[in-house]
Homo-oligomer: A and B are copies of this chain.
Amino acid sequence: MKIYLDCIPCFIRQALEAARHATDDIRIHEQAVRGAIGLAIDLDMSQSPPKIGQQMHRLIRGLTGIEDPYHKVKQQFNNAALKLYPKMRQLIIESRNPIETAVRLAIAGNIIDFGVKSQLQERELEETIEMCLSEELLNVHLDDFLAAVNEAEDILYLADNAGEIVFDRLLIEQLPVDIITVAVKGSPVINDATMEDAVLAGLPKIVEVIDNGSDTPGTILEGCSRSFRNHFEKADLVIAKGQGNYETLNNVNKNIFFLLKVKCPVISRNIGCKAGEMILQKTKAFKGAKENAGI
């Protein structure tokens, strides 16, 4: 997905917020905004939003000298999610349709996105869980998803954010864990999950976890490590969490299911849905097992 004009003010806002996460020095806050404006001047509009996000957050890390401005909120939401985990697990086990409940919760966890929701409070996370458990599923193709999971022999699960990764664990536990690899980011960008968060969520105990070697808040394949690209290549199903993965992979010729909560007007316009909706949607290029086998 290419950048929209609406993304430009959003990036400048993000630069300011990232700088504020890193330091209280208002001179650096101003430098961050001016730096982001500098990036915006010559912006190549054919790039995807996470490509600009990567450049912009590198700039902020360079200006502030802080390698992980969101480390504190990542910890906070990992802890908040881990506190909710036993109750949510029980809810899934006792529900009439455990997979559906786990999908709803995995999408709810996607609210923990400090790129869009810079002032997120734990209370809002709990409200989102309530909402995602009760709301009608409009853009959620659950039967297709289950069929794809059943047909798959090698699933790559692209995590999105810290905290959210605990919700991903809840869904992963309902899937065939022996064929799943989870990928996190190679190094910090916004509040995206890295290996540290995967470990905190307890994921390496149940599945293989790799990192993608990149600091893009999404998945731009050519910027990822060769090892990650090999995993991506050989997987016959990719489950991709969050807006950043949708923005970078929605036109890739691959069997991908996107799971996300729509949090910005640009994504809702691109998908053709309302802001706030839950999405479980496959790529246009998606082929079922029968099609793959030429049947």
Contacts and interface: CB of A to CB of B under 8 A. Distances in A.
Contacts of A16: 5-6, 8-9
A13 interface: yes
Given A37-B37, A40-B37, A30 B45 contact: yes
A10 B33 CA distance: 12
A29 interface: yes
Interface in A7-44: 8-13, 16, 26, 29-30, 33-34, 37-38, 40-41
A41 B37 contact: yes
Tally of this chain's copies? 2
Interface of A: 5-6, 8-13, 16, 26, 29-30, 33-34, 37-38, 40-41, 45
A34 B5 CA distance: 10
A38 B38 CA distance: 10
A37 B40 CA distance: 7
A43 to B, nearest CB: 9
> Which of A8, A29, A38 has most B Cβ within 10 Å?
A8
Contacts of A5: 16, 26, 29-30, 33
Contacts of A12: 8-9, 12, 40
B8 A33 contact: yes
B29 A8 contact: no
A137 to B, nearest CB: 25
A146 B5 CA distance: 47
A37 B36 CA distance: 10
A199 to B, nearest CB: 35
Nearest to A11: B9
Contacts of A26: 5
Contact of A13 (B9, B34, B41): B9
A49 to B, nearest CB: 14
Contacts of A8: 12, 16, 33, 37
